[in-house]
Structures are given as structure tokens and as C-alpha cells.
Amino acid sequence: MYNEIDLDKIDINSEPPTEEPARQYYFMAKCREWVREFEEKHGRRPTACTQTFGCQMNARDSEKLKGILLQAGFEEGDEEADFVLYNTCTVRDNANQKVYGHLGHLQALKKKNPHMKIGLCGCMMQEPEAVEKIRRSYGFVDLIFGTHNIFKLAELFYQCLARKEMVVDVWDGTDQTVEQLPAKRKYSFKSGVNIMYGCDNFCSYCIVPYVRGRERSRRPEEILAEIRRLAADGVKEVMLLGQNVNSYGKKLEEPVSFAELLRQVNEVEGIRRIRFMTSHPKDLSDELIAAMRDCKKVCRHLHLPLQSGSSRILKIMNRRYTKEQYLELTDRIRQAMPDISLTTDIIVGFPGETEEDFAETLDVVRRVRYDSAFTFIYSKRTGTPAAAMEDQVPGEIVKDRFDRLLRLVQKISSEVSMRDAKTVQEVLVESENDHQKGYVSGRLGNNLLVHFPGDVSLIGRIVPVKLVEPKGFYYIGRLASEADDMQDNR
Ligand code: 5AD
Ligand code: SF4
């Protein structure tokens, strides 16, 4: 998208434009000039590698980063590339530790290739302590920027070329969103689409509102225009992305609800499947349930983070719903869409969590019977209210609860998620199967994986597949023949 802008027509000897995105195209053209010089000197183009940590938002951001680098003339490379850029996450401490681990490895690579540039961006860079630690202990890093200015990559990389010292540009916040920049999609047939940025909820354990800033919704016209362009480019499935999509559009000059947006996206020709992520239970309206029920393209899958089943803990988490309200909500959703697949996020070991509180979580899991659940051990994030709470739960107790929860979640999931066995379902084919030659892999509307015999020509197509063999968390299938019955599923 926007890849058609001709960089060679930009006058790179003039002053850089002040307005965006023109300024960034100017710097992409400047970088391209440098790429040409590099190529003359080394007989090859420089390579760049972006590596993503964390969530779908980061994955989408990385597609934008990669788009900019390819526009600037880089070739795609691996971890030994001339420019390695990590798009970091900081939602739990292990995400940070992973980055530090990788940096050690990069230092060794940089010794072998002194021209190598190393960049870090994303959520972790919004934390002053992390930036300080990198300055102190990882001085070989060349570039640091945050979540609010990823659109500036070309300009910052260009600055880096001229300077020996680390370039650091981290913004506290922004009300600016620069969208009209290139993006290199990982998949030709599906794409994330940002509908909003930031989060205003301040759940007491969560660092996201501090590193991603206040909630900002994109205007529906802009979102729809992007989705139409994606559809024209062959995209069949879109994932609408936001930290809390249920509060989409409330603060726009002309407010629009998420349900209305969903109905409008449903009308875009060429798009066959719509997903979205993430829903906050406190904002999930009946209007949205009705829109999901009515819109044929909206997948029958809802990710509805529970976090804890204890109303007492939920209150301290600042989630603003009770156990009963959550259960009542899932009942309403299932009444409207009996075949919906529900998934969730659960945190174990939040400060002050007692065995009784934990039993409430297990109770909700037993009652809702999730198709799958992401389970997390509570991680203390500096600067969040929960980090200052006194009664942190001892590690061995948390580990024991975590194991018990995981066992229950997996048992239920393997029972529930195989309910479509022996039926024919539509599958979006995503890739060749890594493990079994002659097989391809795809996803059902409810996101489950199916592996079946087929060749690469199927990739990107939606085809009917008979789910022959349930395997607990995935199916083995075969392309359905006319004789197989087609179910009405999405
Ligand atoms: N510790 C553990 N898990 C967390 N999450 C967010 N913050 C923390 C934390 N401090 C989990 C929540 C959220 C998911 C994306 O990450 O479950 O839904
Ligand atoms: Fe974090 Fe809560 Fe916002 Fe989700 S809704 S990003 S858990 S603060």
C-alpha cells in the first residue's frame, strides 16, 4: 500500500518537508541513495531484519517497519543482516528478558560485521528504566525509538548513518497518527488493520496504558478505505486491532460504535472473514452481539479476557465487572450465537489472590468451557498500581495454581474445540505444512488449525474441508467433495 509513490522523483537535495508523511518519503529517498552507494561498494544491497516480540499490534507495526525498509531499498535478511530491528514488548517481564538475551547474541554478530546497525523500538523502549539499562550495558545499540513514532524509521535510520553515538527518540505520547506509509504484509491474503491505538482502562497490573498512551480511534472512512485497498490487493481476512475495540469511536468528533463499524466492514466486497481483538467485557454491548450475529463475515470467535474469576480480585484489578456479570455476558453471547468459540486470558497470582479467589477462577473456566485460554503468571510491572501492593503471592504457590489451571484449561479445550469433528467447514489455507510433505495448513472461522493433503496453489483460498480426525488442538482433514455436506459456518 502506498508502495506506488515514486521515490526517485523526490528532490533529496532540497530541505526535508515538515509535514507527514511527505517528510518520511523524503528520508526513504535519502536512505535509498545510501543503499545505492552501499551496493556500489559491496557489490550487494544491504539487508534488514525485523523481529517481533509480543502481540498482534506489534506484528502489524512490524509490517509497517518492514515496508519502510524495503521502500528504502533494503533486502530482507536474517539475524545476521546489516540492520537488525527488534520491535519489543514489555507486558510481562519475560518479554524484556528475552530482548536482553537476544542482545547478547547480537553483540557477537556485530563484532564480526562492524557495519551492522542494531535498532530497538516498541513498548519496552517507552520505559525509561529499560532505555537507561541499554545505554549503560548495551552501548553497541545504534537506534532506540518508541511506540508513538514508528513512522519515523527512515528519518531515524538516516540520522544513525551520520552519527557514531546511539540515536534515541522516544515520545511520551502523541495525538498524531501517520498512516499513509508502506507496509509489507507477512501474508498476502490476510492483514491486521489498526482501528484504534492506546488504552484508557488502567487495569492495575497492566503497563500498556503507560507505553501505548491514551486511546485514539481512527475515523471509520479511513479504516474502510484501507480495508477496500486491502481487498483490492487480494486480502480475504482482516483482523481489526485495538486494545479495547469495544470502546472504539466513542471519542470521535462524530461518534461511531464498534458495532456500526463492524456492519460497515461487513459490506466491503472481497473481504470474506472479519476478526477483531481485543474485547473488554465491561464494554461489550448487546448492539455488538447483534452485529456479530447478523454479519455473515464476522468469524464465530470471541476473545474475551477474564483475568480472574474472583469479583474481589477483579475489583482490585480495576476491571469494572464482577464474576456474575462476566458469566451473564457469556450466556447472552451464547444465546445469540450457540456455535461461538470463546477464548480468554487469565492471570494467576495477582497480589492478594487467595486459594478461594483462585477457586473462583477455576469455577468460571468450568462453567464457560473456553475453546482455549492464554494463562499468565502475574508479572510485576514497575509504575503500575499492582506493583506497589504489599501481599505479592509467593512463587511456589503461584506455580502450583498455574499448573492446576493449565491442566483444567487444556482438558476442557481438547473436549470443546473438537466439536466440529466429521463436519465440513470452510478453511482459509495459510501455508504449506512444515512437518508433513504434501500437506497444507489452514484455519477454521473459529481459528483452529487444520492440516490436510494439498499443494501450494491452495494458499490464500477458502476451501471446504472435511474434518476427518480430531487431534485435541487441531484437525487432520481432507478437501471436501460434492458428496460431503457443507455446514453454515464462518
Ligand atoms: N502480568 C501478567 N499478565 C499480564 N497481562 C497484562 N499485564 C500482565 C501482567 N502484569 C496479560 C493479560 C492481558 C494479556 C495481553 O496479558 O491477561 O489480557
Ligand atoms: Fe491492559 Fe486492561 Fe488496557 Fe487490556 S484493557 S491493555 S489489560 S489496561
Residue 452 confidence (pLDDT) above 90: yes
- 315-333 pLDDT, tens per residue? 999 999 999 999 999 999 9
Burial state string for 85-111 with b = 16 or more CB within 10 A and e = fewer than 16: bbbbbbbbeebbebbeebbeebeeebe
Ligand sitting nearest the alpha carbon of 200: 2
* pLDDT tens, residue by residue, 158-168: 999 988 899 99
pLDDT at 485: 63
Q: How many CB atoms lie within 10 A of CB 398?
A: 18
484 has pLDDT over 80: no
Burial of 377 (0-12, 13-18, 19+ CB in 10 A): middle
The DSSP bridge partners found for residue 462 are 428
| CA-closest residue to ligand 1 atom 16 | 91
CB 172 within 8 A of CB 209: no
For residues 210 and 170, the answer to whether their CB atoms sit within 8 Å is no
Ligand 1 atom, smallest distance to 206 CA = 7
| Tens digits of residue pLDDT in 203-236 | 999 999 999 999 999 999 999 999 999 999 999 9
Confidence (pLDDT) at 57: 93
For residue range 342-366, what is the model confidence (pLDDT) as tens digits?
999 999 999 999 999 999 999 999 9
Find cell 470521535 and name the residue: 252
What percentage of the chain's residues is helix, strand, coil (to nearest 5)? 40, 20, 40
Please report the pLDDT score of residue 472 as a whole number.
87
Identify residue 272 by its one-letter amino acid code.
R
Summarize pLDDT for 50-73 with one digit per residue, the tens.
999 999 999 999 999 999 999 999
* Residue 378 confidence (pLDDT) above 60: yes
Question: What is residue 1's predicted lDDT score, i.e. its pLDDT?
Answer: 47
Rounded Cα distance, 321 and 326, in Å:
7
Model confidence at 488: pLDDT above 70: no
Contact 119, 138 (CB under 8 A): no
Percent of the chain with pLDDT over 90: 91
Span of 1-5, 119-123, 311-315, 385-389 with lowest mean pLDDT: 1-5
Q: How far is CA 109 from CA 38, 68, 97, 374, in A?
A: 19, 24, 19, 34
What is the atom index within ligand 1 of the atom nearest the CA of 379? 1
Residues near 187 by beta carbon (within 8 Å), at least 6 away in sequence: 430, 460
Quick one: which ligand is closest to 91's CA? 1
In this prediction the pTM is: 0.94
Q: What mean pLDDT value characterizes the chain?
A: 94
Strands 424-432 and 439-443: antiparallel
65 C-alpha to ligand 1 centroid (Å): 25
- DSSP H helical segments within 317-354, as ranges? 323-336
Q: Is the CB of 244 under 6 A from ligand 2?
A: yes
Instruction: Pick the residue whose CA is nearest to atom 2 on ligand 1.
Output: 378
DSSP letters, 246-268, are GGTTTTSSS---HHHHHHHHHT-
| Distance of CA 347 from the midpoint of ligand 1 (Å) | 6
Contact 178, 64 (CB under 8 A): no
Identify the pLDDT of residue 228.
98
| Backbone angle region of 349, left / alpha / beta, with phi > 0 → left and psi within -120 to 50 → alpha | left
- 27: Cβ below 6 Å to ligand 1? no
Does ligand 1 come within 6 angstroms of the Cβ of 347? yes
| pLDDT at position 8 | 83
Say yes or no: CB of residue 398 within 6 Å of ligand 1. no
Query: Are 436 and 451 contacting, i.e. CB atoms less than 8 angstroms apart?
Result: yes
Is the minimum distance from the CB of 272 to ligand 2 under 6 angstroms?
no
Kindly compute the dihedral angle of the four CA atoms of residues 55, 59, 62, 63, in this order, to the nearest 10 degrees.
-160
Task: List, for residues 118-137, the tens digit of each pLDDT value.
Answer: 999 999 999 999 999 999 99
Ligand closest in space to the Cα of 55:
1
Which strands form 301-303's sheet, in the order they lie side by side?
301-303, 341-348, 372-377
Q: Which tens digits make up the pLDDT trace of 281-311?
A: 999 999 999 999 999 999 999 999 999 999 9
